[in-house]
Chains A and B, each alone.
Chain A
Amino acid sequence: MTRSVNPHLSSDDFDALLEGAASQEAHAHLDACAFCREQVAADRAVVTRLESLSSFAPSPAFPDQVMARVAVPDPFALHSFGSAGRRMFATRRSLAAAASVAIIVVGAMAASVIWTLGNRETLAAAGSWLGGEAMSWLWIAVRGGAANLMEQPWYAAARGFLGSPTRLAILSAAITTVYLGGLFALRRLMALPAQGGAHAHA
């Protein structure tokens, strides 16, 4: 501060007074000096006027005009593998979610490997028991289904009809034709309409 040379407050003192952070020394000077008091009051008036100025808005089309000239990178471009990584690190939340998933997956894999190495016999016994049980249930289901089929009233007639190899071949061909026809129709339905198609109601 150069108050010994200049008897009035410095520009730093003025700033501090405007921001309410002035030293006691500056306040004491202000109490005694009418000139500085007047200057500070005038500065406060200017700052108040500046702070009360309203902001201006550009035209409503402004965002669209800007976006029309901005090249937004394609998030699904196959060549930009980096974008997936950047998306993962984009926000704190996405980073935390990615880290949680990674910890759970790696932890589960590590735990299963460690457990398997320590319990090979148990794992083998459990596998054998599970395989046996599964086969037993599957056999029961097949036998039950076959018995149920044979009890149907139309079973004898159907068996008689399919007893001839020629009829069996004709039926197989008919089923195959219906299946392929269905696939073809579905493909036509799913196809995108051609560009510049007919304008029936022009």
Chain B
Amino acid sequence: MTDRRAALAAATDQEVVALARTGHEPAYRELIRRYERPIFSLVFRMVRDRELAEDLAQETFVKALNAIESYRPEFKFSSWIFKIANNAAIDHLRRRELDTLSLDGSPHAETPEAMEATALQIGNRLESPLDAVEAKELGGAIEAAIGRLRPEYRSCILLRHVEGRAYEEIAEILNLPLGTVKTYIHRARNELRQSLAHLRE
């Protein structure tokens, strides 16, 4: 039993996926074991909400593992699952952006006073004990600076310098031209450098 587990742990992603396709449940669990931390970390840093990140990471795995028959082995499994996770996070951020805009006041309001009168009042996001824990987890200066980046820059910089993915793989994951990925990473580094400048002085 232990030998089988060791053999599974030593197998390549492609071999584990091939076994999963035959209905080998431990192979599914091995894929989850390999990618739960990187996927959850990426999504958590993207959406900055632990509960939501767990839901989105779960959606990612469910979607990927239920569609394992349609996975094409000529691509890296990591690229495939990171792509699903990133799409889930970006989709959520876009939806939230729309919701936030709608909280700013009626789109039909013509004066600032009218906008203020129709705007919904929401409390400080860092009020609940859970939010306080999350603020501590993501509380470092670098985490805060990452949180201020545009989502596209955030994905790029996290995949490159936190997950250690190659530029080509990031381009594949984000479905962007290689040049765009390099530009985004360069701009993200510039913004982080500026955000963290006070720490170096």
Give the residue name and chain of the B residue nearest to A59 (CB): B54
Verify A53–B62 contact, CB threshold 8 A.
no
Give the docked Cα–Cα distance between A77 and B193 (Å): 57
- Provide the bound-state CA to CA distance between A90 and B19, in Å: 6
B97-149 residues with Cβ-Cβ distance < 8 A to A are 137, 142-143
Using a Cβ–Cβ cut-off of 8 Å, how many residues does chain B contribute to the interface with A?
45
- Assuming the contacts A47-B189, A70-B28, asked whether A55 and B37 have C-beta atoms less than 8 A apart, the reply is yes
- Beta-carbon contacts under 8 Å, A42-72 to B: 42-43, 45-47, 49-51, 53, 55-59, 62-63, 65-67, 69-72
Check A72–B23 contact: CB distance below 8 A. yes
A166 at the interface (CB under 8 A from B): no
Q: A14-B189, A51-B162, A55-B41 are in contact. List 19 more A-B contacts (CB 8 A).
A: A42-B193, A43-B189, A45-B196, A46-B142, A49-B196, A50-B142, A50-B157, A50-B161, A51-B161, A53-B143, A55-B40, A62-B36, A62-B40, A65-B58, A72-B23, A72-B28, A73-B21, A90-B19, A91-B15
Listed A/B pairs (8) with beta-carbon separation below 8 Å: A46-B192, A62-B32, A62-B58, A67-B32, A69-B66, A73-B23, A86-B21, A91-B15
Give B residues with C-beta under 8 Å from A: 11, 15, 18-25, 28-29, 32-33, 36-38, 40-41, 44, 53-54, 57-58, 61-62, 65-66, 137, 142-143, 157, 161-162, 164, 182-183, 185-186, 189, 192-193, 196-197, 200
